[in-house]
Amino acid sequence: MPDTSPAAAHAPLTRVDVADIAVRLFRENGYEATSATQIAEAAGVSRSTFFRQFGSKDDVIFADHDELLAQISTYFTNEHEDPWVAVCEAASLVFERFRERLEIVRVRDLVVRETQVLRDRETVMVSRYEKTFAAYLRRMLPHIQPLTAIQFAAAVTATHNFELRALIRSNDRGGPEELAVKLVEVRRLFSPTFEAGGAPDARSDVVVAVFPASTSPADMARAIEEQLRSITH
């Protein structure tokens, strides 16, 4: 139940509050037929205030994504034992925020599916999550190939979006548990030695060396060193 106290009545609306109002107007009146001025009036803010908060009505609908990306960036500044797991946890955080706002998220999904310009905007938002995840992995794991970070970030984001759409568009499937299972599968793809419940080993290469019994310790050490150099370069 909404807070109807006097303090709440006069509290300024957040960017997400205004975005939710815009989503409902888009659904009721159509995206093209709804102007930025109408959104501002419905939100009880001036037109100039609206444009200070949002560049255009194209931007308003995804205001919660801006906040979530900021939260993820803050989350990544904390210490995490396993960066691969941290990315999966960040994706789960996003999923949970959308699940908490499922009613309005479902309305937005209908609006976006009907509007090409918003579908294009949504694609841009998805790429921002991927870039944020990949940049974090590359910063925390400088030894990995840049493409590996990009591929993992894309896989996590795609898995999140698949499960979120399942939650939004169906009443009998999808949820945080299902997402967690799918993200474990993604981690396993990127680390064949990964075991569920444990952290994947970022440096899981194993070198097996076989030498004749007559090989001197110095020759063994030199051969092993050369092999290790060939793996790490």
pLDDT in tens, 94-149: 999 999 999 999 999 999 999 999 999 999 999 999 999 999 999 999 999 999 99
Confidence band for 56, pLDDT divided at 50, 70 and 90? confident
The reply to whether 149 and 112 lie within a common domain is yes
At position 29, the amino acid (one-letter code) is: N
The percent of residues in the chain predicted with pLDDT above 70, rounded, is 76
The reply to whether 46 and 115 lie within a common domain is no
Residue 232 has pLDDT above 50, yes or no: no
92 within a domain of the structure (yes/no): yes
128 within a domain of the structure (yes/no): yes
For the segment 77-103, the average pLDDT, to the nearest whole number, is 95
The reply to whether 143 and 120 lie within a common domain is yes
The reply to whether 108 and 179 lie within a common domain is yes
At position 37, the amino acid (one-letter code) is: T
pLDDT in tens, 143-170: 999 999 999 999 999 999 999 999 998 8
Total domains, the chain: 3
pLDDT of residue 37: 93
pLDDT of residue 7: 43
pLDDT of residue 202: 41
On average, the pLDDT of the chain sits at: 83
3-class DSSP assignment, residue 201:
coil
The reply to whether 105 and 188 lie within a common domain is yes
The reply to whether 114 and 139 lie within a common domain is yes
4 within a domain of the structure (yes/no): no
5 within a domain of the structure (yes/no): no
The reply to whether 181 and 144 lie within a common domain is yes
The reply to whether 86 and 166 lie within a common domain is yes
Residue 206 has pLDDT above 80, yes or no: no
1 within a domain of the structure (yes/no): no
CATH number of the domain at 17, please. 1.10.10.60
For the segment 187-208, the average pLDDT, to the nearest whole number, is 56
b/e string for 82-121 if b means 16 or more Cβ within 10 A?
bbbebbbebbbebbeebbeeeebbebbbebbeebeebeeb
pLDDT of residue 137: 96
The percent of residues in the chain predicted with pLDDT above 90, rounded, is 63
Look at residues 129, 116, 201, 196 and name the one whose alpha carbon lies nearest to residue 161. 129
Look at residues 132, 148, 125 and name the one whose alpha carbon lies nearest to residue 202. 148
pLDDT of residue 192: 53
Lowest mean pLDDT: which of 17-31, 60-74, 162-176, 191-205? Answer: 191-205
157-160, long-range: CB < 8 A, 24+ apart: 157/91, 157/126, 157/129, 157/130, 157/133, 159/91, 159/183, 159/186, 160/91, 160/92, 160/94, 160/95, 160/129
Q: What are phi and psi of 199, to 5 degrees?
A: -90, 140
83 within a domain of the structure (yes/no): yes
2 within a domain of the structure (yes/no): no
The reply to whether 196 and 84 lie within a common domain is yes
For the segment 227-232, the average pLDDT, to the nearest whole number, is 51
CATH number of the domain at 147, please. 1.10.357
Confidence band for 205, pLDDT divided at 50, 70 and 90? very low
6 within a domain of the structure (yes/no): no
Q: Tell me which residue range forms the domain holding 99.
A: 62-202
CA 129 to chain centre: 5
The reply to whether 36 and 72 lie within a common domain is no
The reply to whether 84 and 122 lie within a common domain is yes
Q: What pTM did the predictor assign? A: 0.76
The reply to whether 52 and 96 lie within a common domain is no
For the segment 3-13, the average pLDDT, to the nearest whole number, is 56
Residue 10 has pLDDT above 60, yes or no: no
Angle, helix 83-100 to helix 176-190, in steps of 10 degrees: 160
pLDDT in tens, 208-228: 455 555 665 556 555 555 655
